[in-house]
Structure 1
Amino acid sequence: MRHDFLHPHSKFRHALQAMGRGHGDGSHHRGGGRRGSGGGDDMPRGRKFSSDDLQLLLLALLAEEPRHGYELIKALEVRSNGFYTPSPGMIYPALTYLEELGYATVEMDGSRKRYAISDSGRQYLETHRERVDMMFAKLKHFALKMDSVRRAFSGEESDEGQDGRSWIPELLQARHAIKRALYSRSDAAPGEQLRIAQILAKAVAEIENAQEQKDR
């Protein structure tokens, strides 16, 4: 008889799997993955980003500073708090593809390659800036979830809502209410869909404006 369900490490592992912790990603080079996985509400289980998504993330990191391949892997691991750690078999083919497209340049640093973004790579990155920002926002969101899960399984008291590391119940309820409202109008006529879109666009603008004022 198995008793894994009694072991805290086993519980932690299953919690991570429920959040999509597995490394079942498909090929992350030459556009081989599904497109647009960065646009959903949550990252799908067993798959984090498409090949195009990964390439954009790498370009964004290279835009900050030149990096070796292993440094890019570490940067994504740190930003996601361990949630997303692509393997070298995913990173290096993607970097080779970016180099072939002319979006990245390479120079030898001893026996290792250091990658940097090119001018055309910056232009390509800027045309997809909104998509990149959304993916980094998701990494941050799941990084907070990882921290919450770790604290829960270590027996620490939850400080939900006090330090900004988790969503307070009121915000979660509002989020679910929006989902329910949208699902209930899945068969709405085009005119009604436009009205709903305008309402949501106004709400997004108010949220972003409030954040901009806070950052000033």
Structure 2
Amino acid sequence: MKISSHVSQDAAQYDASATVRRKRREKMLDAADIRLLILHFISQGAAYGYELIKSIEELSKGEYTPSPGIIYPNLALLEEMECIRIKEPQAARKAFVLLPEGEKQLLENHAHLQTLIARLTSMAVLVNNRSIPEVERAIHNMKMALNGRLSQSGVSQQTLYAIIDALDDAAKKIERS
């Protein structure tokens, strides 16, 4: 049974007051991706739900932190799929161990797992580069100039096209640098 073949309702509950950025990060991984990462980290030794959350968070340098509401239902599903089991059912904290089916899923989905790890790692690189003071200042200046100009009433179509062209030109220069 393939991990990606299970379609489940999105377990993450979105807070209506959450920012758009946070919502975008929460949607970054689907449930099958989370299950694959869970299997990976259990195979590496992270055995408790909290440790799994922290392992994923560390991989992305804090840019993505799965909620308990996404981790624990997926742990339960992986148990049902016989990919993992609770090491000591009587223990207060539930530690999980990988079963042969979980190892099989890791092998079958190795390429996708590497893509997920690369995606989360690239988020960490982005955080590092965005936190350079000069980069932060330049991004802030661009936002302020753009918001200042677009918040004025009576902006002509010609002005809008000029702004769009300037943004497109800047994007091309950045992409090609």
Question: Does TM-score exceed 0.5, indicating one fold?
Answer: yes
Offset at residue 105 of structure 1 (A): 1.2
Tell me how far 1:116 sits from its aligned partner: 1.4
Q: Specify whether residues 56 and 171 from structure 1 end up closer, same or farther in structure 2 by C-alpha distance, changes over 3 A only.
A: farther
> What SS does structure 2 have at the residue aligned with 1:123?
helix
Alignment of structure 1 residues 24-43 onto 2, 5 Å: 31-32=7-8
Cα deviation code 1:90-116 (max 9, x no counterpart): 100000100110001112373100011
Q: Tell me, yes or no, if structure 1 residue 173 matches structure 2 residue 154.
A: no
Name the CA distance, whole Å, in 1 between partners of 2:46 and 2:97. 4
What's the TM-score once normalised by structure 2's chain length? 0.62
Q: What TM-score do you get using the length of structure 1 for normalisation?
A: 0.51
Partner of 1:86: 66
Q: 1:134 maps to what in 2?
A: 115
- Please list every run of 5 or more consecutive structure 1 residues that lacks an aligned counterpart in the other structure: 1-29, 35-43, 157-168, 175-216
Cα shift at 1:81: 0.3
Check 1:128–1:139 CA distance in 2 against 1; reply closer, same or farther (3 A cut). same
Higher helix share: 2
Separation in 2, partners of 1:114, 1:103: 14
Q: How far did 1:65 drift?
A: 1.4
Q: Which amino acid aligns with 2:93?
A: R
Return the letter of the residue paired with 1:141: S
Aligned to 1:73: 53
Contact conserved, 1:77 with 1:83, CA < 8 A, in 2? Answer: yes
Equivalent residue runs for 1:87-106 within 5 Å: 87-106=67-86
Question: Aligned match of 1:145 in 120, 126, 129?
Answer: 126
Distance 1:33 1:129, change over 3 A: farther
The answer to whether structure 1 residue 125 and structure 2 residue 106 are counterparts is yes
Identity fraction in percent: 27
Residues 153, 117 of structure 1: alpha-carbon distance in 2 compared, 3 angstrom cutoff? farther
The offset of 1:154, in angstroms, is 9.6
What's the CA shift for 1:66? 4.4
Q: 1:127 to 1:113 in 2, by over 3 A?
A: same
- 2:162 equivalent in structure 1: none
SS of 1:67's equivalent in the other structure is: coil
Q: How many angstroms does 1:32 deviate by?
A: 2.2
Structure with the bigger RCO (C-alpha within 8 Å, sep 6+) is 2
Query: In the alignment, residue 45 of structure 1 is paired with which amino acid?
Result: R
List per-residue Cα deviations over 1:54-87 (Å, max 9, x = no partner).
1001111111114100000000110100011001
Aligned pair count?
Answer: 124
> Contact 1:33–1:52 at 8 Å: present in 2 too?
no
Residue of structure 2 equivalent to 1:60: 40
Shift of the 136–67 alpha-carbon distance from structure 1 to 2, 3 Å rule, reads same
User: What does 1:111-122 correspond to in 2, within 5 Å?
Assistant: 111-122=92-103
